[in-house]
Amino acid sequence: MPSKREQSFATRAIHVGQEADPLTGSIGVPIYPTSTYLQEELGKNKGYEYSRVSNPTRTRLEENLASLEGGTAARVFSSGMAAINALCTRFKSGDHAVCGNDLYGGVPRLFNQVLTNYGLEFTYVNTSQAEQVERAIGKKTRMVYVETPTNPLMTLTDIRAMSEICGRKKVELIVDNTFMSPYFQQPIALGADLVVHSTTKFLNGHSDGLGGAIVCTTMEQAEQFGFIQKAAGAILSPFECWLILRGVKTLAVRMEKHDYNGRLVAEFLSKHKKVKKVFYPGLATHPQYELAKRQMSGFGSMITFETGSLANAKELLKNVHMCSLGESLGGVETLISHPATMTHATLGEKGRAAIGITDGLVRISVGIEDVGDIVGDLNSALAAV
């Protein structure tokens, strides 16, 4: 039998951390909705004392996610933003981070409106340009934080090149891998020091639970984040852990279908006369198409496209029927959103303009419905624009 590390991705998604319950033989991982645990005597327990510190269902999920990302260990949190906040609680006043300038809007909101109050400093650059990152790194820089692809402009960062810079400068490289999932992109194999996820998205896959994760490459990191879980308490509940464990069992087949549908929807949009521009790394017209083919094993289902104006975007979004207008992404259903008024409203008009987010941009997370139905819905909605 191959070792767990030698097993294929789809096999590990179903079996690592998802072993049958030794007590009952249950194939499904049990949910342990307990706050505390019986101790046999002082200082003697079965590995669990209090569920803020650890929980058997959470342990199973952390084992699973570490395996899928090729990490040493994983630690899960109550949301993706809680995980990102945990990354930064290791820093002290005066420490500095270099970040992508095209991130999910909640990230600069946390950095600029909360963490700067504690003396942390942040510089935002185009991380697709390695020289910009290298110039921005200073003596007090502790991390380089990137999304690849970015939300919503689908810009890529060359993870291997960024790893080489960070290695020389002795700075941690953190990669948000939410858009691609570990199925299509393996940042640790490319040199990342830590990987972060909103597990709410593709890992869960069913739009029914919040969560976040940090995947570590050293046990020292894992111990640090385990202590932060214990000390700050922004942990993931047993039920939410179970939802993600259930979701990742089908991650491989879902991502294949997401990718198949995403490519066809992107192709359709790129040829539609009412669409001004399509941002999708799987199109040969994407400026980083070659990097996408080299760095990722698929292109995924996240697409952003330009309708030309706020009025056009509003009309389109008013006329979709099967596609669901709403925040979030990565669910089995197709979700469509308007970055300027939803995910990136917090940046303000000037902030959005500075990085190229217009009022006419629409972002779509292509689901796994029949692709003909998705295209038909978009075609009907575009006809109304």
Instruction: Please give the positions annotated as active site.
Output: 52, 104, 176, 201
- Report the C-alpha gap between 300 and 330 in whole angstroms: 10
Q: Residue 368 carries which side chain, given as an amino acid letter? A: I
Count other C-beta atoms under 10 Å from residue 237's C-beta.
18
**Long-range contact list for 379-382, CB < 8 A, 24+ apart?**
379/268, 379/272, 380/319, 380/321, 381/316, 381/317, 381/319, 381/320, 381/321, 381/323, 382/272, 382/274, 382/275, 382/316
Count other C-beta atoms under 10 Å from residue 313's C-beta.
23
Instruction: Give the distance between the most distant pair of CA atoms in the chain.
Output: 73
CB 236 within 8 A of CB 109: no
Angle, vertex CA 83, rays to CA 364 and CA 234, nearest 5 = 120
